[in-house]
Chains A and B, each alone.
Chain A
């Protein structure tokens, strides 16, 4: 298979785009497309100070690499979750994030969950009502809380995450199967800023997961290859498997599913629900915006799981 641009041997074939490219042209094409999506969805501009949430995985490190290559001011945030799983998962992922930051002389902020709230994610999941049997829910809630706090406290105008098309399509698939109107309303490349909430953007949302892995490999980005031990058997991976079988038979299925959804939402499919969106107010404990009366979900979870640490945590923020 030949590169469409130069006729040399292709390194990447994207059936959904009917496009094959050699290494050099792929490493030109992907940043160009990233810049196009940043502009198309009005994610941020040159004046913005961007905080990239990095996990040590291929997507977030590639995102950081892309933003730096494109000339944006972007620092990293690594959240130590305290997940071992017999493989030292969090320690290894931290090493990869730190290595990337050092290689490129970039600023990496590090927040350790156990240092902040007294327990690592697996223990929080065990002892809190929310996470019992599903640590991913506790992990997601904690990461969202920490990311927003750091972005707000350290003056970042934009919080960027490495969610790719496969992530977005899997979430959309799940939300559609469950007709989760509230979540469907909020899903998109940009979650606008609100009082106390940083603007959240997903510059990779139109790239297939395979395209991001190819980018990381071709750029020589070293990332954690092992899966999070808690991801095994997760619903999101199951949905990805279903969508990949459809994609294999009908190239473009995932991209079409996501783009048609964005178009439907833009045309007002969820407008009626939008009118009844609940207003936000500051959490009495940490000050972050919440729709719940009193304290936010995160503070309530921490209080139930680690009763003695709530006041310590609040003062630390």
Chain B
């Protein structure tokens, strides 16, 4: 499984799908987060592999 972590909440999806598909599957709007893997930013077409952890940085703040 692939772990997606957003503000401490963990979502799990199966490997082999793109980041875009993974975000859609767990109900996160892609334009509200930035995804990083091993400290590097990754884009929506990136294929996620089993065992990986993707950190999602929320980009929306109040003001």
Give A contacts to B, CB under 8 Å.
1, 10-13, 15, 20, 23, 57-59, 136, 163, 166-167, 170, 208-210, 212-214, 217-218, 225, 227-228, 230-232, 234, 236-237, 240-241, 244-245, 247-248
Contacts and interface: CB of A to CB of B under 8 A. Distances in A.
Interface of B: 29-32, 34, 36, 40-41, 43-45, 57-63
Contacts of A227: 61-62
Contacts, number: 68
A1 B41 contact: no
A166 B62 contact: no
A247 B60 contact: no
A231 B59 contact: no
B43 A217 contact: no
Contacts of A214: 34, 41
Contacts of A58: 61
A95 to B, nearest CB: 17
Contact of A248 (B29, B57, B59): B29
Q: Which 4 A-B pairs have the closest CB atoms?
A: A231-B62, A213-B59, A210-B59, A11-B41
A203 B43 CA distance: 26
Given A1-B45, A214-B34, A217-B34, A234 B62 contact: yes
A12 B62 contact: no
Contact of B61 (A10, A136, A209): A209
Nearest to B44: A13
A20 B62 CA distance: 27
B4 to A, nearest CB: 17
